[in-house]
Amino acid sequence: MNWDETAPSTDDAATGPDRLVAADADGEETAVEAALRPKDLEEFVGQERVREQLDLVLRAARARGATADHVLLSGAPGLGKTTLSMIIAAEMGAPIRITSGPAIQHAGDLAAILSSLQEGEVLFLDEIHRMSRPAEEMLYMAMEDFRVDVIVGKGPGATAIPLELPPFTLVGATTRAGLLPPPLRDRFGFTGHMEFYAPVELERVIHRSAGLLEVDIAPEGAAEIAGRSRGTPRIANRLLRRVRDYAQVKADGVITRETAEQALDVYEVDGRGLDRLDRAVLTALLKLFGGGPVGLSTLAVAVGEERETVEEVAEPFLVREGLLARTPRGRIATPAAWSHMGLVPPQQQAGAGGQQGLFGP
């Protein structure tokens, strides 16, 4: 969480007890998320093909008494890449070190991490595609030969000192596998692509989490939450906790379909999983720009968000749902978007004789 100390009127910028309460709440949410993580492959729900393949890799490594091959996990955020990295370490009986690509901006940063690894340790490198090029090139040798060259000095007098590393397993995670250079991808012994979850799989995730949270949930309530979770377990668990709060305060503590619907309406998550930002993007695209095409920057200004926020947070889901399309001329709304938002495309209104305005009578 970013704290804006120049804006004392906001909750995030609170000082004293208020700030401690905010920090405690954030820590509690993190602790709950950690408690809901599966601890082994058998407990992990979904991703059947990746689980089967990964199980073979880990069993074979254990049978040989060797360190597991390097693993690359790709897929959208919230599908379980971090959880699988922890399961890999647990299955191999090894400790795990967690870092991320943006945190490694110099080769020396990576060298410091690698030189402190224990034999067999799992190094989880999240957002590996955002690592700096010098660190990336050092990683090639570390992955293949378990060795790095540490440069001492500068200019003509610089000397490369080879540093031997203990065998380790690198687990890389990326949401944009296409940005990884081929030499890096080729050094992973196993690559698994994480798919979005089917509603029935998310129902299993929700029932499991509800049991751990000691929440009474009806099958219809779990199905309602699953249908609005965008195919993502992380979102399903987050919505479950918010619906639990609503059920405890507004209902009898039991999550039924009706309770789930009422709670998710309060939190502005509609029947297809669209949230406030998603609907704001569609509303602007439809009402202000007649369905497009419109440039991404213009669309972002219309909804009062940064371009990157619209492109990386809202757009992928809207495209996947068939509500928005990217074209060379800009973003356009699909017929499904008009239908979902309860609006009539201009072409149909013109065909009706022009008796109505663009957005109704």
On whether 357 is known to bind a ligand per the annotation, the reply is no
On whether 82 is known to bind a ligand per the annotation, the reply is yes
The CA–CA distances, whole Å, from 270 to 7, 133, 261, 263 equal 32, 42, 9, 11
Compute the distance between CA of residue 232 and CA of residue 212 in angstroms, rounded to an integer.
19
Compute the distance between CA of residue 96 and CA of residue 94 in angstroms, rounded to an integer.
7
The CA–CA distances, whole Å, from 93 to 45, 59, 304 equal 21, 12, 48
Helices (H), the chain: 17-36, 48-64, 81-92, 107-115, 133-145, 182-185, 199-212, 219-227, 233-250, 257-266, 276-283, 296-303, 307-309, 315-320, 335-340, 346-351
Cα distance between the two ends of the chain? 45
**Contact (Cβ atoms closer than 8 angstroms) between residue 72 and residue 174:** yes
Compute the distance between CA of residue 83 and CA of residue 245 in angstroms, rounded to an integer.
25
Compute the distance between CA of residue 79 and CA of residue 235 in angstroms, rounded to an integer.
9
| 4 Ramachandran zone, left/alpha/beta (phi>0; psi -120 to 50) | beta
On whether 81 is known to bind a ligand per the annotation, the reply is yes
96, β-bridge pairs: 122
On whether 133 is known to bind a ligand per the annotation, the reply is no
On whether 272 is known to bind a ligand per the annotation, the reply is no
What are 48's two structure tokens?
């059947």
Give the angle subtended at the CA of 141 by the CAs of 191 and 126, to the nearest 5°. 45
Compute the distance between CA of residue 84 and CA of residue 75 in angstroms, rounded to an integer.
12
Handedness of CA 129, 130, 131, 136 (dihedral sign): positive
Give every CB contact of residue 24 below 8 A, 6+ residues apart in sequence. Answer: none
On whether 244 is known to bind a ligand per the annotation, the reply is no
**Phi and psi for 164 in degrees, rounded to 5?**
-75, 140
On whether 188 is known to bind a ligand per the annotation, the reply is no
On whether 234 is known to bind a ligand per the annotation, the reply is yes
On whether 307 is known to bind a ligand per the annotation, the reply is yes
On whether 83 is known to bind a ligand per the annotation, the reply is yes
On whether 154 is known to bind a ligand per the annotation, the reply is no
On whether 331 is known to bind a ligand per the annotation, the reply is yes
On whether 144 is known to bind a ligand per the annotation, the reply is yes
| Residues involved in catalysis | 81-82, 126, 175, 234
Binding residues: 36-37, 78, 81-83, 144-146, 187, 197, 234, 307, 326, 331
Binding residues for Mg(2+): 82
Binding residues for ATP: 36-37, 78, 81-83, 144-146, 187, 197, 234
Binding residues for DNA: 307, 326, 331
